[in-house]
Amino acid sequence: MSFQKIKPEELNENVFQMIGNKWMLITVEKDGKANTMTASWGGLGILFGKPVAFFFIRPQRYTKEFVDAADRVSLSFFGEEYRDVLNYCGTVSGRDEDKIAKTGLSLIHEAGAPCFEEAETTLIVRKVYNQTMKPECFLDSAIMEKWFADRDFHTIYIAEIEEVLVQS
């Protein structure tokens, strides 16, 4: 498989389908070790005059330590045939095992970030902002009660999209 680089504005996929239904693997490296996790919260858009991706990670996730330590992260999207891999990466912690090795995915590096050869679309992003959600900022308390009963508020990461890689 080989990637073709396209501009962010050339991405023709439905973002709601990509993130909400297909999900993504957030992959990052720290001290020479890569880790990944499945995510289905996030988006793409324009902020600070740049094309950006935003994604969310709970504080207890092992991957958060890696994201906090890194400048660049990859967001990878796969075909439906990888649904089991995405389920696995969303339920098993990299603290407990080398889940990338167990997935059978081929880890590669593009533009300073680890990613996967099998991905249909990969965004290489550079973090530009993060902030932990705060209870006093919720305008709809029902959302907080539904999604944050344990008060384990996500950190929001905003990252400039530096490269978009699609399978050619």
Inter-residue contact 28 to 113 (CB < 8 Å)? yes
User: What's the CA gap between 87 and 39, in Å, rounded?
Assistant: 10
Provide the pairing of β-strand 24-30 with 72-77.
antiparallel
pLDDT at 68 over 80: yes
Instruction: Provide the residue ranges of all domains of the chain, joining segments of one domain with +.
Output: 3-167
Instruction: Give the mean pLDDT of 41-45.
Output: 97
* Amino acid present at 24: M
Position 2 confidence tier, pLDDT thresholds 50, 70, 90: confident
1 or 135, which is more confident: 135
Mean pLDDT of the chain: 95
For 3-167, the fitting CATH number among 3.40.50.150, 2.30.110.10, 1.20.950.20, 2.60.40.650 is: 2.30.110.10
Q: Of 147, 142, 133, 116, whose CA–CA distance to 40 is shortest?
A: 147
Is the pLDDT at 168 greater than 90? The verdict is no
Looking up tokens 């705060």 gives: 134
pLDDT score of 1 more than 80: no
